[in-house]
Chains A and B, each alone.
Chain A
Amino acid sequence: MSGLLEIKHLTKRFGDTVILNDINITVNKGEVVVILGPSGCGKSTLLRCINALEDIQGGEILIDGGMIGKGADMSKVGMVFQSYDLFPHLNVLDNITLAPRKVHKRTRADAEEEARELLKRVGLSGKEKSFPRELSGGQKQRAAIVRALIMHPELLLFDEVTAALDPEMVREVLEVILDLARQERTMMIVTHEMQFAKAIADRVIMIDGGSIVEENPPERFFTEPDTQRARQFLETFTYESVRK
């Protein structure tokens, strides 16, 4: 069985610097894959490659059988970014309905009806007419998730969506993503929230120095990882007590 997403021997370079080296990943329908790794390991670049925002220097990426750059249907992929990327000149509703109206040629009424439904689902009812600058970071990210969802992507990419948020807002955003997992959506998530990763992942992939160092189910990855590198990485999230 072929996956919804198949990455074969992917290589990405910026000039002479190798960012991603011979990456092979298959993601099946309904699967949630969490990508972990230290800063600068190439995990964000990987997501950007899957969303065709970066050109690749080797290998291939297949979305539902179609190769990126050669006929892949990119509307099957949706992405939410780390920074608040809502369009600042449009209110929440217009932000969400712009793409369905212009790309899918849906009527405003039709698109708005679905937008309101989705906004209600993520707890943003009543914020339809607000502008991004009037929202908190967490609200902005939830709106950005709705904006991706309304295009009905089969694969959702989340690139450190809570990294720029205050701690108390992280949860409200992650709850939304957990809810999506319950709906059996296919997702690839880059995050630094280990507890969240443990809770949501079907499979954890750790990348370091542009290569996959470990790939395991979360139960195994977080308790007894195969590699020394993964162990080291997980240790950076725990602290030894200094109390005497």
Chain B
Amino acid sequence: MDIQILQEYLPLFGEAALLTIVLGTAGIAISVVIGLICSLVQYYRIPVARQIVRIYIEISRNTPLLIQLFFIYYGLPKVGIKTDPAICGIAGLAFLGGSYMAEAFRSGLDAVDKIHAESAKSLGLTGTQTFFYVILPQAVATSIPPFTANVIFLMKETSVFSAVSLMDLMFTAKDLIGLYYNTTESLFLLVVLYLIILLPISLFGTFLEHKLGNNSVRQSRKTTVKRQVSENARKEVVPDVGN
């Protein structure tokens, strides 16, 4: 591997990484909003809207992002809707991500035992209060692992953006390989930059899980006991320095 080539390519890859991050973040942010709305529609069983959401989720999850992008980028202009590649990429990612987020949030909402909503009602809390103080905090704790997995998945999916001429990481790598045949250096930078983007997300997800999982449903009595036992065991192993 040639260090000089790496240095030469780094700014190009840096720019591409920035584009990947910007487009990915925007797409994921919108997909979170779509997901929240869809999961609430399903949780509260809102008629008609619920069927529409179901159809959207099935279409969105069962078609590849590449095809969705082609549809938006090449298909929509035929009926007069023309968008620039960046908007197209964000829209595609949001269309795909919305359904994944919806399912992640719904699993969290469904995991909250019905008895809690009933207790809240019998205590006199309104529906909105019950949702924000009782249902949502529990649902969030349960939703974090699938949510993190979705964020990582969607960030990685941005690699197909190159197909609609967006100069993201994948595009840059392929472009440079095609021009100069420095395959090793290009692929090396490609992997490293994806890792730089994705590892922090992954670690932050684990951190959140621990942080919010601490006071939540996720941690059963059993694990607390187990930890206590292992802590006690550790204490016994440590020699008593005091004496």
Which residues of A come within 8 Å of B, CB atoms? 51-53, 74-75, 77-79, 81, 83, 85, 87-89, 91, 98-99, 102-103, 131, 133-134, 147-148, 151
Contact = CB atoms under 8 A, between A and B. Distances in A.
A89 B215 contact: yes
Interface string B130-154: 0001100110010000000000000
Given A89-B138, A89-B141, A102-B133, A131 B124 contact: no
B220 interface: yes
Given A87-B120, A89-B215, A133-B220, 20 more contacts: A51-B122, A52-B121, A53-B118, A53-B122, A77-B122, A79-B119, A81-B118, A85-B113, A85-B116, A87-B134, A88-B216, A88-B217, A89-B217, A98-B133, A102-B125, A103-B129, A131-B215, A133-B219, A148-B123, A151-B123
Most buried by B among A81, A89, A103: A89
A53 B141 CA distance: 27
A134 B224 contact: yes
- Please classify the interface of chain B as helix (H, G, I), strand (E, B), loop, or mixed, using the class held by over half of its residues: helix
B221 A103 contact: no
23 contacts: A74-B122, A74-B124, A78-B122, A81-B119, A85-B116, A85-B118, A87-B116, A87-B120, A87-B134, A88-B216, A88-B217, A89-B215, A89-B216, A89-B217, A98-B134, A99-B125, A103-B123, A103-B125, A133-B224, A147-B123, A148-B122, A151-B123, A151-B124
Nearest to B217: A88
B124 A75 contact: yes
A131 B221 CA distance: 11
Most buried by A among B129, B133, B138, B219: B133
A87 B217 CA distance: 9
B148 to A, nearest CB: 19
A81 B121 contact: no
A223 B225 CA distance: 47
A53 to B, nearest CB: 5
B241 interface: no
A134 B215 CA distance: 10
Nearest to B123: A99
A88 B125 contact: no
Interface string B92-120: 00000000000000000000010110111
Contacts of B123: 78, 98-99, 103, 147-148, 151
Nearest to B216: A89
A156 B138 CA distance: 27
**Closest A-B pairs by Cβ, 8 of them:** A99-B123, A103-B124, A85-B119, A79-B122, A88-B217, A85-B115, A89-B137, A75-B124
Nearest to B221: A133
A81 B115 contact: yes
B143 to A, nearest CB: 13
Contacts of A88: 138, 216-217
A147 B216 CA distance: 19
Interface string B183-194: 000000000000
Contacts of B217: 88-89
Nearest to A74: B124
Nearest to A77: B122
A108 to B, nearest CB: 14
A87 B116 CA distance: 7
Contacts of B134: 87, 98
A85 B113 CA distance: 9
Interface string B212-232: 000111011100100000000
Most buried by B among A78, A91, A103: A103
A74 B221 CA distance: 34
A99 B124 contact: yes
Given A102-B133, A133-B219, A133-B221, A53 B124 contact: no
